Amino acid sequence: MPHRPAAAPFALPDPHRMNTTTAHPAAPTRSVRLIGAPTDIGAGARGASMGPEALRVAGLQQALESRGLQVCDLGNLTGPANPWLPPVNGYRHLPEVVQWNQRVFDAVFAQLQQGHLPILLGGDHSLGLGSISAVARHCVEAGKKLRVLWLDAHADFNTSALTPSGNVHGMPVACLCGFGPQELTGLARMPGGGPALRADQIRQIGIRSVDAGEKRFVHEQGLEVFDMRFIDEVGMRQTMQQALAGLDDETHLHVSFDVDFLDPDIAPGVGTTVPGGPTYREAQLCMEMIADSGRLASLDVVELNPALDVRNQTALLAVDLVESLFGKSTLMRVPA
Ligand SMILES: [Mn+2]
């Protein structure tokens, strides 16, 4: 069994941190850190709290090591239990959501500062707030540009006024853009106090379920959304070409992979399935084209819900796709 520390020694000096020589100095690090955040605090169904362990059982670390990456599993963060209460002022579990996200922020930020590529194992998608706030802060300090790819069935652009449920996993993109409670919009403590992200840094892919008020707000804010109709019409190849256009050596690419992005036929293990998502081949092409960009520098894998899965097949699929994200080609193609 691979050794995995139970607690979270995120700030300890890392013996590998000096070993950062690569053939291509501009390429993102090959040193990966897995960070588990076992909570469903922002979700509408219980069970995503078991996601990190299901991804480990599905062989995530070994799969990444087979790609030639140096992988260290830092174990799980800890945080408050899920009290399973109704919304208060439009938010469910806001104090607990804040605590979890602060811990995710600290852990992801520390790993980025040490030159590692953090992979957040969720947990529900409210944790994208802490993770991407850390990435945004890191990019400001490192003088990097930032592009976020949001792979999801949902836009996650709700506010307390628009949300039908109060579940914060439907709000992280809005909060990252500055629309939400100060405890969440201010996580990154950006210089000047601005939001962590501008709408023009985000590309949403696979979207097919957006609430009515949320839809208006997405248009108002000018988010670039490649929804399923777009993917149906132009294909995944052109979609990804557009979503990845304009990246350069100075761009940090973050992928926030909500497993409900995938069609429920191949990925039943999520709390919020929406029919009509990308097929296995479309998802593979999406991941392979991100890998080809050579810019991937941080990743979230969220909303995997083992309580709703069938014999861990969704976790196995997620691991398979993450492998492609790091360069495993399912095609017989000679590398360029
Ligand atoms: Mn989501």
pLDDT value of position 332: 62
CA distance 70 to 298: 14
**Residue 267 φ then ψ, to 5°:** -135, 75
Catalytic one of 40, 73, 156, 309 = 156
- How is residue 205 written in tokens? 């892919």
- pTM metric for this prediction: 0.91
CA–centroid distance, 130 to ligand 1, in Å, is 14
- Residue 124 appears among annotated catalytic residues: no
Q: How many CB atoms neighbour CB 331 within 10 A?
A: 8
Catalytic one of 14, 40, 96, 152 = 152
Kindly report, residue by residue over 153-205, the tens digit of the pLDDT: 999 999 999 988 999 999 999 999 999 999 999 999 999 999 999 999 999 99
pLDDT value of position 29: 77
> Going by CATH, does the domain composed of 31-329 fall within 3.40.920.10?
no
Integer-rounded Cα radius of gyration of the chain = 18
CA–centroid distance, 293 to ligand 1, in Å, is 23
- Residue 288 appears among annotated catalytic residues: no
Looking at residue 49, the DSSP 8-state letter turns out to be G
Averaged confidence pLDDT in the chain: 92
- Residue 73 appears among annotated catalytic residues: no
CA–centroid distance, 208 to ligand 1, in Å, is 11
Q: Report the percentage of the chain scoring pLDDT > 90.
A: 88
- Residue 169 appears among annotated catalytic residues: yes
Run of H or E including 324: helix 313-325
- Spatial strand order of the sheet with 296-302 comes to 70-76, 31-37, 117-122, 296-302, 251-258, 145-151, 202-207, 224-227
pLDDT value of position 333: 60
What is the total residue count of the chain?
336
CA distance 263 to 273: 8
Let me know: does 11 contact 111? Beta carbons within 8 Å: no
Interhelix angle 94-113/128-142, rounded to 10 degrees, is 40
pLDDT at 11 over 80: no
Mean pLDDT of all residues in 243-247: 98
Mean pLDDT of all residues in 121-139: 98
pLDDT value of position 264: 98
Distance linking the first and last C-alpha atoms of the chain: 36
CA–centroid distance, 174 to ligand 1, in Å, is 12
